[in-house]
Chain A
């Protein structure tokens, strides 16, 4: 009997491990749908790999930073003069827009929208990329100890980066917009045409929309619509490169160039904000960060 069990040890262990993978996949799928992917048991591995990857990437970031700060600033004077002229031009335009807004009586609404947008942000460094090239996600060096939770949007000064999908104590994983599983409700800023922005797994995005006339044109800016509750309204997503129109189809698509340069992603900001939909998904567990505490700084 003992020999029999010893002989079966390996097949039994193999079968157990296979069963474990299937169960964990189903459980993780459920957690992903509920945005409750705070994995305590995975903390150890992430906590070990994040600092090591950070250290390994430091020379590359340092070289790139040195290059961009010093070497590539050769034409700084001409660039500065050009930008000063551009600033003057934009200030003039800004004055005209402000005048127009005041005249139309919408200034209060705009002020309210800005106040609604004013959510605390946590700066974070990208310290690791997805080990699988088929998924587009990054690891950042801020986690639950900084009040970062699953479902929080991540942005840069250029626009939307993605969504936090899993957290550990000191790190979090962010699914990028480029990931094929990513979908964001967006709208064209000019025409307000709404649609879904999906990742394609490549460097570009796909915008699916319902055509009404020439609602979407190349060059149009696409922003988040705020519908769905995952992202606040008005964050830049990208601009339209090409519209693929097929009159026989109800839904049309456009190719978008993301606003963010994902190839040079180093510093990002986690918006300590979860929309009402996310709160509903979480139920009443109340783990939304206290905005005041977050502003005062994390531990």
Chain B
């Protein structure tokens, strides 16, 4: 689950940095906002990954 947090942080910060340097010329703000959104997205991903886990194959209730 920790990887989810880290990966989203990298993507968020990276997208923000890209927007800063190549699109908007707004240097620190794009990356700041990107990092904040990355934290949120990471927590969301970790939560979702925890929810999406399949039940154990031997669990009899899930057969139907």
Say whether A associates with B.
no
